[in-house]
């Protein structure tokens, strides 16, 4: 009998190519295909020795080289290209076959595609894959959705090529239909928030404490040894320590200060608005990128008055305070992201286990961090935890950090250094712990102009004040 490929990958740009190599390196014969054949040829020429590849020039050849039930991974540009590839391959497949979309699809698209393909008996698995091109090659974090049956056939393969932490694969079945891509979206949203907080910490040390990028890199290296230890802190130190070869200046000083975005952070916030979950840390991060990118507005507003200058006192106290503020704000950002996962899970009936998500984010992905172990412990102890902030460990951490956190927000405000991540995280924290919020006044305003009614603290029911009349209260 001719040997067949165990799995196939179509779309061989950086991600698909490295994922195919990862599969081959793990001993899985892999069929490879790309719209333009040159990429397929290049892959086999360059890396053919790494395992068993079945290069295919046409969709028909590709499908014919797969063992049944067929497992086909799509790694193309999200959106229209994914639909085009599905339309090309689905007619060639049979009931029981599986299509995995490893791209950054919007989970609503994944739900639509899953439902359409289910009608034809084809399993569609939206799988979030994080870790960039290095992760795809050496072990990403994989977040597959789709049916439990499809996970039975795909899970062992995906777990095999995923990152491992303490021998545990960074891959698990997230939940049905779009659950995997939803969780990947929130992962990216948290990544935005985490990066923004780190950037604010840098800005405070640079402009507030007057430190040079090289010195700040050392601070980040130190932090990476402690509770903040994470991939993002580690690479921040690398970036800050880097010198531009052409000018001899710190690399960070020759890069344009306009952050770009591909859209997953924006989607996270859009969906959070629909679900009514305050993900202020992620929203501030998305808006901070938008503000940075609006060069015209920034030029027009450059002369706005305000303080600018460094602290008079020694830097060391600010460094220690910023570490505390960063940790506390990071806890808030993750707490908000996990609340969004819980809300999405409830809305779509996905039964996502938040502890399992923190487990598969411990390695391979961009937000991998020491403290994900703590998050896992928190959800293991209380699967329905209303917020990470009320878990004993995180509560203690924030209790210990909060004086410094408040000082950092005050210092940033006084120096005129924007710290929307730190300050919005603190506002969220104070909002949660407030005994009374001014929302009572908002309800009064809503009743005044729109007769929207309000509820009372002392009686059941909805009420309205006759604002335009004798201002008596009526039950509505």
Residue 171 or 417 with smaller CB distance to ligand NAP: 171
The pair of three-digit structure tokens given for residue 206, joined into one six-digit string: 């640079």
Name the minimum Å distance from CB 13 to ligand NAP.
3
CA 54 to chain centre: 34
> Residue 447 in contact with residue 454, Cβ under 8 Å?
yes
CB of 276 to ligand NAP, least distance (A): 28
Paired strand residues for 250: 243
In 117-206, at which residue ranges do the beta strands (DSSP E only) sit?
123-130, 141-144, 164-165, 168-169
Dihedral (Cα; 23, 139, 107, 285), 10-degree rounding: -150
What's the CA angle centered on 123, arms 120 and 128, to 5 degrees?
140
Is the Cβ of residue 86 or residue 318 nearer to ligand NAP in the bound state? 86
Least Å distance, CB 132 to ligand NAP, is 4
Residue whose CB is nearest to ligand NAP in the complex, by number: 103
From the candidates 45, 88, 133, 184, which is the catalytic residue? 184
Determine phi and psi for 230, rounding to 5 degrees.
-165, 165
CB of 408 to ligand NAP, least distance (A): 32
Which residue's CB is nearer to ligand NAP, number 84 or number 382? 84
Query: How big is the CA angle at 374 (ends 189 and 333), to the nearest 5 degrees?
Result: 25
Q: Is 149 a catalytic residue?
A: no
Q: Is 278 helix (H, G, I), strand (E, B) or coil?
A: coil
179 vs 204, beta carbon nearer ligand NAP? 179
Annotated catalytic residue, options 42, 57, 77, 191: 191
Active site residue 184: yes
Report in angstroms how near the CB of residue 86 gets to ligand NAP at its nearest.
10
Which residues of the shown chain bind ligand NAP in the complex (CB under 6 A)?
Answer: 11-16, 34-36, 39, 75-78, 81, 84-85, 103-104, 129, 132-133
Task: List phi, psi (to 5°) of 260.
Answer: -105, 170
Residue placing its CB nearer to ligand NAP in the complex, 84 or 474: 84
Nearer to ligand NAP, 263 or 444 (CB): 263
> What one-character-per-residue DSSP string does 337-406 give?
HHHHHHHHHHHHT----HHHHHHHTSSSSTT-BTHHHHHHHHHHH-TT-S-GGGSHHHHHHHHHHHHHHH
Contact of 96 with 64, CB cutoff 8 Å: no
State the minimum distance, in angstroms, from the CB of residue 330 to ligand NAP: 22
**Residues annotated as part of the active site:** 184, 191
């Amino acid at each position: 009998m001719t040997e067949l490929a165990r799995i196939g990958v179509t779309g061989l740009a950086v991600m698909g190519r490295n994922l195919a190599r990862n599969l081959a390196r793990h001993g899985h014969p892999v069929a490879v295909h790309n719209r333009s054949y040159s990429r397929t040829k290049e892959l086999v020429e360059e890396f053919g020795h790494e395992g068993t590849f079945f290069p295919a020039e046409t969709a028909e050849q590709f499908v014919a080289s797969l063992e049944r039930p067929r497992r086909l991974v799509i790694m193309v540009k999200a959106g229209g290209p994914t639909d085009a590839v599905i339309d090309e391959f689905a007619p060639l497949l049979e009931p029981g076959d599986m299509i995995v979309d490893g791209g950054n699809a919007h989970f609503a698209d994944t739900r639509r595609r899953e439902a359409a393909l289910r009608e034809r008996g084809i399993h569609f698995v939206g799988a979030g894959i994080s870790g960039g091109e290095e992760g795809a090659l050496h072990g990403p974090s994989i977040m597959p959705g789709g049916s439990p049956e499809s996970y039975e056939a795909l899970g062992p393969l995906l777990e095999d090529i995923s990152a491992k932490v303490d021998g545990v694969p960074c891959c698990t079945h997230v939940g049905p239909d779009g659950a995997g891509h939803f969780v990947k979206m929130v992962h990216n949203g948290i990544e935005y928030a985490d990066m923004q907080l780190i950037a604010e910490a840098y800005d405070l040390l640079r402009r507030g404490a007057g430190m040079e990028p090289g010195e700040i890199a050392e601070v980040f290296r130190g932090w990476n040894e402690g509770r903040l230890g994470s991939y993002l802190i580690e690479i921040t130190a690398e970036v800050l320590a880097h010198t531009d070869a052409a000018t001899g200046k710190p690399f960070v000083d020759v890069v344009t200060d306009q952050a770009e975005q591909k859209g997953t952070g924006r989607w996270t916030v859009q969906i959070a608005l629909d679900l009514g979950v305050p993900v202020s840390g992620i929203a501030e991060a998305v808006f901070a990128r938008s503000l940075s990118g609006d060069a015209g507005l920034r030029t027009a507003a450059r002369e706005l008055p305000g303080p600018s200058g460094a602290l008079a006192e020694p830097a060391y106290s600010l460094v220690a305070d910023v570490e505390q503020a960063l940790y506390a704000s990071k806890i808030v950002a993750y707490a908000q992201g996990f609340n969004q996962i819980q809300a999405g899970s409830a809305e779509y009936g996905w039964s996502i286990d938040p502890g399992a998500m923190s487990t598969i984010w411990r390695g391979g992905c961009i937000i991998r961090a020491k403290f994900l172990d703590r998050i896992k412990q928190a959800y293991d102890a209380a699967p329905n935890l209303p917020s990470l902030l009320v878990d004993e460990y995180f509560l203690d951490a924030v209790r210990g950090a909060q004086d410094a956190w408040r000082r950092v927000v005050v210092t940033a405000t006084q120096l005129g250094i924007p710290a929307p991540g730190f300050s919005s995280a603190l506002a969220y924290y104070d909002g949660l712990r407030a005994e009374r919020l001014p929302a009572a006044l908002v309800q009064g305003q809503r009743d005044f102009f729109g007769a929207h009614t309000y509820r009372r603290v002392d009686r059941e029911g909805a009420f309205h004040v006759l604002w335009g009349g004798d201002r008596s209260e009526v039950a509505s």
